[in-house]
Copies of this chain bind each other. A is one copy, B any other.
Amino acid sequence: MRTQWLDETIVYDGVQLRAHWALARTGLVGDVLVGFRGPCRVADAEIADLADVDGPGIAGDDMVHFVWEAFDHADLLLAVHRQRLLAAQARELLAELAPRATVQRDGDDLWVGDGKLSISIATVSPVSALVHFAVNATPGGAPVRTATLQELGVEPIAFGRALLARIAGEQQSIADARAKVRPKGEWR
């Protein structure tokens, strides 16, 4: 898997979570994780989570976004595990960058007290698995009470670049672990 931080501001409206968007944007062929900063205004037709379809909307004025498209092992169950691990990694990174704050993970969501720090979804296209994860950078524009990286004193782009590296690193480590283990037999 390859990663790329995109320096330009991109409005995330949900079409970025479609097959081959990352390829078109970056030219990187294969499993790719891209990060960028920009507002979030998910169009109704692009909402993937049925729990959100009749909700207050998915929006924010300034977020750090991650879009992951995997063609290899494009299975939804695995994708949700990857998404959860990504959220856990984000929390771990924040524990290092903002050691005094208390960030909680609840499934694919991060919280600071009762402020929602992140949004996320994992889904599939006919040819790939897709994960979106985004963290509020600065306040404003969200339909719910939020927390932000600004409140945590975390610089958004440094956070974004660091998380890209961590996720790629752990995926490599997972692949390596799989290739170094002996199988086990029957207990009796």
Q: In the assembled complex, which residues on chain B have CB atoms less than 8 Å from the CB atom of A176? A: 29-30
User: Once bound together, how far apart are the Cα atoms of A130 and B91, in whole Å?
Assistant: 27
- A177: which of B18, B80, B181 is its contact (CB, 8 Å)? B80
- A71: which of B126, B170, B173, B179 is its contact (CB, 8 Å)? B179
Q: A interface, by DSSP: helix, strand, loop or mixed?
A: mixed
User: Once bound together, how far apart are the Cα atoms of A23 and B180, in whole Å?
Assistant: 8
User: Once bound together, how far apart are the Cα atoms of A15 and B30, in whole Å?
Assistant: 26
Q: In the assembled complex, which residues on chain B have CB atoms less than 8 Å from the CB atom of A187? A: 15, 18-21, 24
Cβ of A142 under 8 Å from chain B? no
Cβ of A175 under 8 Å from chain B? yes
Given contacts A88-B92, A174-B77, contact A183 B180 (CB under 8 A): no
- A49: which of B51, B126, B180 is its contact (CB, 8 Å)? B180
Closest beta carbon of chain B to A177's beta carbon, Å = 5
